[in-house]
């Protein structure tokens, strides 16, 4: 029997997450968000709670949490919420959209979210709490750290490894075999052609003017 689902967050990322949960016929018993929940058809009929403390009313054995807080560079709200409830004994659901393609030989850790149209190929490992967003590609033999965000359309060739808290922005590309250190940001549309140390930001290369 499936456990009931509590969704943490009610912003844009949450609309996609809830849509996926509905497609998979999960029982969503509530949205938890400090700000008033905007009227969205996808949220219709779901109870709303205004405090993280409301989660504590639900037994850890009866519910799974889904972290639907968005992930942006330099912001750690999503990670802090994850850690808070993990320490309290709650578990996070690993969510895969029906239109995503995930190899049977890939490994997804707790709380990973694989969004519509994403692809994860064989022998890749995705760390806890990471988002593989819409249309992103993780090729074979990649190792993705915890709490990464591969934004829509990001593409990783084979054998790429990333540390924790890495953000690879929309449309960025990483060629095969590259290593990216923790807390590093790859800007939208950038191409990684050499290893990146921790705490770096790679911007799109500017073309030479002739």
Please report the pLDDT score of residue 1 as a whole number.
46
Please name every residue paired with 95 in a beta bridge, in sequence order, or none if there are none: 113
pTM of the model as a whole = 0.94
Q: Are both 186 and 113 inside the same structural domain? A: yes
Q: Are both 125 and 198 inside the same structural domain? A: yes
Closest CA to 134 of 24, 19, 37: 19
Q: Are both 86 and 106 inside the same structural domain? A: no
Instruction: Fill in the DSSP letter of residue 195.
Output: -
Number of domains in the chain: 2
Q: Are both 76 and 109 inside the same structural domain? A: no
Q: Which residues are catalytic?
A: 140
Residue 34 lies in a domain: yes
Give me the percent of the chain exceeding a pLDDT of 70. 97
Q: Are both 89 and 118 inside the same structural domain? A: no
- Give CA–CA dist 13/86, Å, rounded: 21
pLDDT digits 0-9 by tens, 118-151:
999 999 999 999 999 999 999 999 999 999 999 9
Q: Are both 80 and 138 inside the same structural domain? A: no
Residue 19 lies in a domain: yes
Please report the pLDDT score of residue 3 as a whole number.
85
pLDDT digits 0-9 by tens, 35-75:
878 888 999 999 999 988 899 999 999 999 999 999 998 88
Q: Are both 168 and 183 inside the same structural domain? A: yes
Instruction: Pick 75 or 193 by higher pLDDT.
Output: 193
Note down the domain range covering 76: 4-93
User: At which of 40, 74, 93 does a domain end?
Assistant: 93
């Amino acid at each position: 029997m499936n456990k009931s689902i509590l969704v943490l967050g009610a912003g844009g990322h949450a609309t996609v997450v809830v849509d996926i949960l509905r497609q998979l016929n999960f029982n969503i018993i509530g949205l938890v968000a400090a700000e008033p929940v905007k009227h969205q058809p996808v949220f219709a009929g779901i109870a709303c709670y205004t405090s993280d403390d409301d989660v504590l009313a639900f037994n850890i054995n009866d519910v799974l949490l889904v972290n639907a807080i968005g992930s942006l560079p330099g912001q750690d709200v999503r990670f802090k919420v994850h850690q808070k409830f993990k320490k309290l004994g709650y578990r996070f659901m690993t969510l895969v959209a029906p239109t995503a393609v995930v190899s049977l030989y890939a490994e997804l850790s707790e709380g990973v979210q694989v969004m519509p149209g994403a692809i994860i190929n064989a022998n890749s490992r995705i760390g806890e709490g990471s988002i593989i967003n819409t249309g992103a590609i993780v090729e074979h033999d990649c190792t993705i750290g915890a709490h990464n965000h591969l934004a829509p359309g990001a593409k990783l060739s084979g054998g790429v490894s990333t540390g924790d808290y890495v953000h690879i922005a929309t449309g960025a590309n990483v060629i095969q075999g590259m290593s990216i250190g923790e807390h590093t940001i790859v800007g939208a549309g950038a191409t990684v052609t050499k290893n990146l140390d921790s705490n770096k930001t790679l911007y799109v290369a500017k073309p030479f003017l002739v």
